[in-house]
Amino acid sequence: MLSPIHHTFGPHVDREAMRKILAVSFAPNRYVQGKSTEELRVALSKKIGGDASLFASGRESLLALLKAMNLRSGEEIIVQGYTCVVVPNAIHAAGGVPIYADIDEATLNLTPESVAVCITPRTRAVICQHTFGMVADTKGLRVLCDLHNILLIEDCAHVIPDDSGPKEIGTLGDAIILSFGRDKAISGITGGAVITRKPDLGAAIRSLESSAIDLSWHEVTTLLTYAPRMRWIVRPLIWCGLQKPILALLNAIGLFSPILTEDEREGHMSPLLRKLPNACAALALHSLSRLKEINDHRRMLTAFYLEEGKKRGWPLLLAIRSDLPLQKFPLFVSNAKEKRALLRKDNIHLDDGWTGCVVCPDTVDLDEAGYASGLDPNAEKVCRAILSLPTHLTMTMKQAKVLVERIGMLLG
């Protein structure tokens, strides 16, 4: 049977990543603290330009930034509809209010026009997402933010540019947020960073990092078991559905770290900040060293899907370009949920948490996230019709060809 086609079951865990994870695992005295955190900080500062601070997740990096801004109760941060719950959660944890602006259906990103109508005297910042690696209008947003004297925050969790681009991303924000999660642009299994070009803000964030707490040795050990668990247990069992009870069992006995806690799904985030463990920094640094390889693989699959989509007359977003290293390739179809269910019978798993919901995943309490139904009609339309194709490092061209043929049968 064909290996599972998926978005989330260890997308960065190939043989080279496994070798690095095993090497890191044999240095238990450096799980929590070590030199890799500083090496990663230097590498990110050099690559992106700015003062880098590291935390245990991307969401905590955003929280640290908002705390450093001295966000006051009731002050507003503009985000887009069609985002992950961790973004409004961080805003709430900092005492602020998320204000949702609608997206452009062609880019799945904010526009200056949608943001402009949301700006009030209480607005402190705009978070520009670059959804799935598609380029947002940062030039227009930069002009708008400068006009109103508010910060522009670029969320680059889905894409980090390399020497081949995209050059429009990561250059105009006052601050850049990165995530090193399991399916992000690069992976440390967990972790995140905030890079700012404002010295005073950078100093405040570094102070928050220095006072953040360490993850325990046991917590880091649990994170390091993620890769072998996905590669050797979960992936082989996906075809028969046994991965779900196994993951549930591991979670019950404390040997699995879920991407989102139950509290986070319900719209709550702890105000505590945690440091990036040295072991995860080492993995993120290794992944960063492979950025061109990772991005070129994503570009290859993006170009393939784009070419096949044009030949087959599929509904393609105008913003998709063959040179983009998309984190996933979005299509929009009727009855997307039913089509994903049909594909699962062929061991094709396209559920990725970004389906059927404006604030993802679909188990989120929208009231707690501060989103009211009907607020962002484009975002609501998109989330119901999206069917995303994998582009990650362990997705092969052979699998992509099979996927295209199977989708072609479904779309007629």
- The amino acid at residue 254 is G
pLDDT tens for 179-220 read: 999 999 999 999 999 999 999 999 999 999 999 999 999 999
CATH 3.20.20.210 fits 291-411, yes or no: no
What is the distance between the alpha carbons of residues 387 and 404, in angstroms, rounded to a whole number? 12
404 vs 266, which has greater pLDDT? 404
Nearest-Å Rg of the Cα atoms of the chain is 20
- List, as one string, the DSSP characters of 218-259: HHHHHHHTHHHHIIIIIHHHGGGTTHHHHHHHHHHTT----S
Strand 109-110 with 76-80, pairing: unpaired
In this predicted model, what pLDDT tens digit does every residue of 110-137 receive, in sequence order?
999 999 999 999 999 999 999 999 999 9
Q: Choose among 382, 85, 34, 91: nearest CA to 217.
A: 34
CATH topology of domain 31-210: Aspartate Aminotransferase; domain 2 (3.40.640)
**CA–CA gap between residue 261 and residue 265 (Å, rounded):** 6
Q: Is the predicted pLDDT of residue 412 greater than 90, yes or no? A: no
- Average pLDDT rounded to a whole number, residues 373-377: 95
Q: State yes or no: pLDDT of 266 exceeds 90.
A: no
Q: Which amino acid is at 183?
A: D
Domain ranges of the chain: 31-210, 291-411
Residues 6+ apart with CB under 8 A from 367: 267
Q: What is the pLDDT of residue 1?
A: 52
Which H or E run contains 93? helix 86-93
- Phi, psi angle pair for 152, to nearest 5°: -110, 120
